[in-house]
């Protein structure tokens, strides 16, 4: 399979080049040259298959020819040794829990699968690959932990000072080895811009083998399609239309769902839900795409003012907004609504939502009100313990952290302070 750039369909590269480059040279995002169909009869039997078995069949459609079956199988078993259960919350509402990986957020799926592929290709390079990643919290931890001690790789995490939770910060600043954290005096959008500038800087690209691990890397997109298929397989017996609400920031997770749908997964609708950073719901409504600086919220992993995967969404729909709006229902929610949902669900069911999952929950409720009964699945993208302060304050009770999170909390933070000027980042990188 070859991959093209969203800026130029004639530009086609191998899987290896797409994964190692991250962003295409023309700044487009890589897309598979064709979207494979799920093998015939696959969905009928998928209910008996594990997430890992589904992952193998789906990933193989994209990588066979570049990665042999044994390597793929070992990449999957190493990257995804955890489950993604579907939990019933109330009538017609289910949580797809994506936080059972080592850093307790759904980004473990993309980051660990990508680390497997990239580590495989890096070994063939004979040169250290430097992975730059801008994070609003969860990406940095998932990528840093996914790449920790992977031979031939070095990870540089850029994060906005004071804008990630303490436990998130600990997950990528305490690791050492091949992981370095840069604490940037700016916003997440600044971090993302710095990374983009690094890729087009001739001095840096000449002296370093740079790549990105942001949701722009196609190796992160592919594995995020696995759990939609797995969840569908568990709920199809209900004989209801299946709807997924995806709490979104850069829209990588939602784009992966669209990919699964285009592979043949019968999804009735995706709910594109955001916090007040509502650039995409606004586009679905009005046709105007108006990126702007992000606003800080309690669901901070979704504080994105210029969603990077929007280019892929447009590409999947050939820039046809009406076609996109037929598959997507957009909605956005304030922090107050999010907190009310967390309190309400906890009071009625005992289920503890994290602020991101709560936005997804609100999206499903809104869909059910608007369109009637469905098997409504919202993606619970992080463990509530990752956002402990907000959750405890909102629910007015303390919550128990899982052991894995406690271990991170006990580590010692080590980070390098950095301004939001590209010149400073460049100087730093030329010295690593």
Ligand X SMILES: *Cc1c(COP(=O)(O)O)cnc(C)c1O
- The residues that touch ligand X, with contacts defined as CB under 6 A, are 105, 107, 138, 215, 247-253, 301-302, 356, 381-382
Task: Give whichever of 153 and 215 is closer to ligand X, judged by the CB atom.
Answer: 215
Q: How many Å apart are CA 256 and CA 223, to the nearest integer?
A: 8
Least gap, CB of 360 to ligand X (angstroms): 8
> Shortest Cβ distance from residue 297 to ligand X (Å)?
11
Q: How many CB atoms lie within 10 A of CB 149?
A: 11
CB environment 43-79: b (16+ within 10 A), e (fewer) = beebeebebbebbbebbbbbbeebbeeeebbebbeeb
Q: How far is the CB of 12 from ligand X (least distance, A)?
A: 25
When CB distances to ligand X are compared, the closest residue is: 138
CA 243 from chain center: how many Å?
19
Closer residue to ligand X (CB): 120 or 312: 312
∠ CA(335), CA(375), CA(399), 5° rounding? 45
By beta-carbon proximity to ligand X, the closer residue of 226 and 251 is: 251
Q: Give the residue with the Cβ less far from ligand X, 66 or 303.
A: 303
Q: Choose between 107 and 112: whose C-beta lies nearer to ligand X.
A: 107
Q: How far apart are CA 419 and CA 375, in angstroms?
A: 47
Rg (C-alpha) for the chain, rounded Å, is 20
271 strand-pairing partners: 245, 329
Closest distance between ligand X and the C-beta of residue 271, in Å?
13
CB of 189 to ligand X, least distance (A): 13
- The runs of H, that is alpha helices, within 33-187 are 42-46, 51-63, 69-79, 107-123, 138-147, 166-173
Residue 146 CB-density burial (10 A; 0-12 exposed, 13-18 middle, 19+ buried): buried
Q: Which is nearer to ligand X, 107 or 163 (CB)?
A: 107
**Shortest Å, Cβ 398 to ligand X:** 21
């Amino acid at each position: 399979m070859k991959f093209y750039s969203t800026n130029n369909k004639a530009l086609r590269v191998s899987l290896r080049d797409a994964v190692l480059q991250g962003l295409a040279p023309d700044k487009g995002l890589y897309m598979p040259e064709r979207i494979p169909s799920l093998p015939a009869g696959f969905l009928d039997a998928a209910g008996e298959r594990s997430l890992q078995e589904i992952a193998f069949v789906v990933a193989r459609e994209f990588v066979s020819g570049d990665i042999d079956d044994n390597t793929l199988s070992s990449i999957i078993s190493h990257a995804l040794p955890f489950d993604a259960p579907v939990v019933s919350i109330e009538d017609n509402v289910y949580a797809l829990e994506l936080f059972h990986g080592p850093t307790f957020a759904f980004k473990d799926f993309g980051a660990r699968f990508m680390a497997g592929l990239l580590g495989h290709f890096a070994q063939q390079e004979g040169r250290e690959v430097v992975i730059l990643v801008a994070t609003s919290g969860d990406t940095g931890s998932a990528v840093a932990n996914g790449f920790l001690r992977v031979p031939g790789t070095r990870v540089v995490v850029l994060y906005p000072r004071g804008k990630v939770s303490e436990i998130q910060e600990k997950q990528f600043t305490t690791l050492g080895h091949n992981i370095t954290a840069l604490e940037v005096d700016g916003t997440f959008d600044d971090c993302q811009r710095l990374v983009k500038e690094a890729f087009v800087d001739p001095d840096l690209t000449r002296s370093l083998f740079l790549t990105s691990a942001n949701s722009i890397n196609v190796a992160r997109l592919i594995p995020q399609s696995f759990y939609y298929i797995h969840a569908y397989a568990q709920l199809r017996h209900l004989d209801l239309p299946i709807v997924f609400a995806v709490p979104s920031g850069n829209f990588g997770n939602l784009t992966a769902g669209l990919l699964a749908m285009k592979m043949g997964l019968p999804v009735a609708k995706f709910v594109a839900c955001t916090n007040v950073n509502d650039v995409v719901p606004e586009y679905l409504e009005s046709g105007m795409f108006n990126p702007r600086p992000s606003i800080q919220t309690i669901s901070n992993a979704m504080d994105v003012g210029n969603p990077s995967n929007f280019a892929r969404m447009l590409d999947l729909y050939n820039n046809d907004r009406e076609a996109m709006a037929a598959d997507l229902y957009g909605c956005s929610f304030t922090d107050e609504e999010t907190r009310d949902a967390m309190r309400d669900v906890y009071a009625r069911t005992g289920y503890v939502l994290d602020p991101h999952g709560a936005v997804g929950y609100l999206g499903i409720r809104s869909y059910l009100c608007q369109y009637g009964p469905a098997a409504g699945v919202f993606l619970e993208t992080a463990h509530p313990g990752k956002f402990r302060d907000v959750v405890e304050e909102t629910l007015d009770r303390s919550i128990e952290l899982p052991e894995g999170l406690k271990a991170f909390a006990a580590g010692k933070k080590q980070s390098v302070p950095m301004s939001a000027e590209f010149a400073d980042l460049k100087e730093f990188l030329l010295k690593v």
